[in-house]
Amino acid sequence: MGLKKLLIYRSKGSTERIDTYLKSYLRCSREKVKELLKTEKILVRNKPVSPSYILKDEDEIMITETFLSSKENNILPEQYPLDIIYNDDYIIVVNKPPGILTHPTEKDKSGTMVNFLMSIFPLPETDNILRPGVVHRLDRETSGVMVFAKTYNTWVNLTLQFKNRMVKKEYIAIVKGRFYPLRKEIEFTVAHNKKTTQK
């Protein structure tokens, strides 16, 4: 099992668990970090440690080359003037402009909201490697408010809220022509377009 030096931990004057620290550094879930520690694919000073291990100044953290190589195709961060509406330790709310994808695809690897957000902070790994921190999506040409998760637990919680329709959404559309009466309520079901992958 090939190991290589990943980093030297520098103390910030406070106690920090290794699983919490590496979760953000490696941009993966805490469960993944625990698995790597349990199988001794992450070592500290060449010794296995538990997920609750408190890091010490100058700790040398080693990790398997196979795991590092699997992370080489990570989404690259890109600078972009984001319109941030709200930001805390758990979520960030941004205003997505039209013409920008929510997250990378197999075809489009750059120029997405995820690329832009990752230039500010690491997003948590989810069940899809191309959608770190993505709670919900907006189509490329749709602008509007988007919520992204900054921790894995927050992502789990928010995706369940969206799935169970606990989140209220409002859309404003620009239409051509006149409505009579001027105020009208239109109710219909949106379905997948079988002729295109776009939703």
DSSP E strand stretches across the chain: 3-8, 42-44, 60-64, 83-87, 91-96, 144-149
Q: Where are the alpha helices (DSSP H) in the chain?
A: 18-26, 30-38, 65-70, 113-117, 152-163
Per-range mean pLDDT, top range of 4-18, 21-35, 56-70, 111-125: 111-125
139 is catalytic: yes
The CA-CA-CA angle for residues 121, 127, 133, to 5°, reads: 25
Identity (one letter) of the amino acid at 92?
A: I
Domain residue ranges of the chain, discontinuous segments joined by +: 3-70, 83-163
Q: What is the fold, at CATH topology level, of the domain defined by 3-70? A: 3.10.290
Identity (one letter) of the amino acid at 78?
A: E
Q: Would you say residue 2 has pLDDT above 80?
A: no
pLDDT band with cut points at 50, 70 and 90 for residue 192: low
**pLDDT, tens only, 153-165:** 999 999 999 999 8
Q: Determine the Cα–Cα distance for residues 121 and 150; give it in Å rounded to an integer.
A: 8
**pLDDT, tens only, 19-39:** 988 876 676 777 888 888 998
Q: What is the fold, at CATH topology level, of the domain defined by 83-163? A: Pseudouridine synthase (3.30.2350)
Options 57, 83, 108, 139, the catalytic residue: 139
Q: Report percent pLDDT > 70 for the chain.
A: 82
The count of other CB atoms within 10 Å of the CB of residue 70 is 11
Q: What is the CA radius of gyration of the chain?
A: 21
Q: Determine the Cα–Cα distance for residues 60 and 6; give it in Å rounded to an integer.
A: 8
